Amino acid sequence: MDYHSMNLAELKLEAKNHTPRIKQYYIKSRLELIKLLSMKEFPIEMVIAKKTIADLRKEAQERKLPNIWKLRRSELVELLYPSTEQNNQNNDGGKEHNNPEKSEGDQIRIHVLKNTE
């Protein structure tokens, strides 16, 4: 379907009847609606944002997670879909820190002392 030739009202009507539903389609700009309607599959963030707490609890029950009834929606989302920031922190693959026992600090001090004489 050619969404670029449609006006904003037509795009909103198309978004209203779209499956899966587009959250807050009525406040999105024309370009945002065209982009969303053109997607074959929504990003996982959009799918998670549309889930109700009942949906999240049902999914947690299927995964047999304990104590889900006490959790708030945000806590359930974090439990079911750990954030990418947390994954990046755990698997940062960053540089290793220098081992102070293997440092060349003593050699540098000796070199500096020799130059001061």
Residues of the chain with pLDDT under 50: none
pTM listed for this prediction: 0.55
Domain extent at residue 81:
51-85
Residue 49 near residue 76 (C-beta atoms within 8 A): no
Residues 58 and 79 in one domain: yes
> What was the pLDDT predicted at 83?
78
> What was the pLDDT predicted at 31?
94
Residues 8 and 36 in one domain: yes
Number of folded domains in the chain?
A: 2
In a domain, residue 63? The reply is: yes
Q: Per-residue pLDDT tens for 28-43? A: 999 999 999 999 888 8
Query: From the centroid of its chain, how far is CA 8?
Result: 29
* Spatial distance between the Cα atoms of 85 and 21, rounded to a whole number of angstroms: 27
> What was the pLDDT predicted at 101?
58
> What was the pLDDT predicted at 47?
87
Query: From the centroid of its chain, how far is CA 7?
Result: 32
Reduced to 3 states (helix: H, G, I; strand: E, B; else coil), residue 52 is coil
> What was the pLDDT predicted at 91?
55
